[in-house]
Amino acid sequence: MVLSEQIRRYFGTDGIRGRVGDGSITPEFVLKLGWAIGHVFAKGHRSKVLIGKDTRISGYMFESALQAGLSAAGVDVYLLGPMPTPAVAYLTRTFHAQAGIVISASHNPYQDNGIKFFSGEGTKLPESIELEIEAMMDQPLVTVDSALLGKAHRVDDAAGRYIEFCKSTVSSKLDFSNLKLVVDCAHGATYHIAPNVFRELGAEVVVMGAEPNGLNINKDCGSTEPRLLQAAVLENKADLGIALDGDGDRLIMVDHRGELVDGDELLFVIARAQQRAGNKHPVIVGTLMSNLGLEQALESYNMALHRAKVGDRYVMEMLKETGATVGGEASGHIICLDKTTTGDGIVAALQVLAEIQETGITLHELRSAVTKFPQRLINVRINKMVNLSDHVEVNAAIKAVEDKLGNNGRVLLRASGTEPVIRVMVEGRDAALINQLAIELAGVIETLL
């Protein structure tokens, strides 16, 4: 299978992201971006926009730049401080704001940063609005009359509001007091929120990664580096571990044996929990990268996996198209649409904990129905982006690999939406075979392109 993705000038699949000081991630650009957003959302009316950020040091600079740009466009700004991405989505809805902005590069290191957006409904912006913002960036920045400048307000109780929301996504009758959890906050935006959510629900919590200094976000911790969490779960004889990423929209868990439980397996656990609770909808949404083992496990319980393009934006689109309520990615972006409007690591973790409490079954046992197929992913750097679907030699190479795999595997080639890279993925039952085929196919792609 071949997939090509359109490259826009500034926006990627999840807002705008890059290295601080380069390209679009500069104070000048972000000032103009704030002004452009203000004009797109204000449309001649008094509007308000919420701004949250993660804990990286550059967040202060970009928060000030966005605030200045929005004020120049006549938009009032509500500053939330360090706040998880899904919290900004939730608070944008409850404040009846026109938009929410998150300053974050998610799971990236501190040298990177980015800007992503939510609509007034707490959902990712449609591409049409993003293109409207990009078009506005070409216009000269004109400040409104001084009497119409936007004002800034700091929201002091934002964390408390979001903590109460998270707790409300599970039954108030549940008692987590028999659970010992290790929670890794990745030195990110959940550092002052996640431990309190789980403690207030009764759990004993051992906290990791909750001492942000602006430079240590995601460093050797969190959902992308869970090795220390695995060791801590065993050392503390905990029931499980919870790893979030820098902005709190990803979740990876660790069972009591110190084994990783990824987004595909967590998606299965949540889907089964909803099915057991009476949700008879047969569709679960994953992505083109979702493991075949997840698909087969769901089929054994009369549920079908629908695959969206990679990116939680596309998972959300397919959730709405199919009427499903659960979707996600192996990376740990999990959307529980019956609970909230975007991927939320804390909310997803609570759904898993609720299933453990209600069934009396450990996480290790709950995830055991998913037998994952080996996957090999190779990134092939190319000179320029191409339309893969039109490339005869590439399609012939893919066909040759698919013939060797038969019905016991699959192939995916995906052009990156942000850089000149072709992602080559081969999946199948035989780890040695899929590794060999992936290397061979990547070599063919590199030679041809």
CA–CA dist 424, 442 (Å, integer): 6
Whether 109 has a pLDDT exceeding 80, the answer reads: yes
Give yes or no: 106 in active site.
yes
pLDDT in tens, 292-304: 999 999 999 999 9
| Domains of the chain and any CATH numbers | 8-156 (3.40.120.10), 162-369 (3.40.120.10), 375-448 (3.30.310.50)
Q: Which of 24, 71, 104, 106 is catalytic?
A: 106
Of residues 445 and 118, which shows the higher confidence score? 118
Whether 52 has a pLDDT exceeding 90, the answer reads: yes
Confidence of residue 217 (pLDDT cuts 50, 70, 90): very high
| Mean pLDDT value across residues 83-101 | 97
pLDDT of residue 4: 45
Whether 43 has a pLDDT exceeding 80, the answer reads: no
Of residues 420 and 349, which shows the higher confidence score? 349
Helix segments in 153-250, DSSP class H: 158-168, 194-200, 227-235
pLDDT of residue 418: 58
Burial code of 217-242, b = ≥16 C-beta within 10 A, e = fewer? bbeebbbbbbebbbebbeeeebbbbb
CA–CA dist 207, 181 (Å, integer): 8
pLDDT of residue 332: 96
Residue with tokens 């704030």, as numbered in its chain: 34
The total of other beta-carbon atoms located within 10 Å of residue 277's CB is 11
pLDDT in tens, 229-258: 999 999 999 999 999 999 999 999 999 999
Which of helix, strand or coil describes residue 341? coil
pLDDT in tens, 399-438: 999 999 988 899 999 887 656 788 999 999 999 999 999 9
- Mean pLDDT rounded to a whole number for the chain: 93
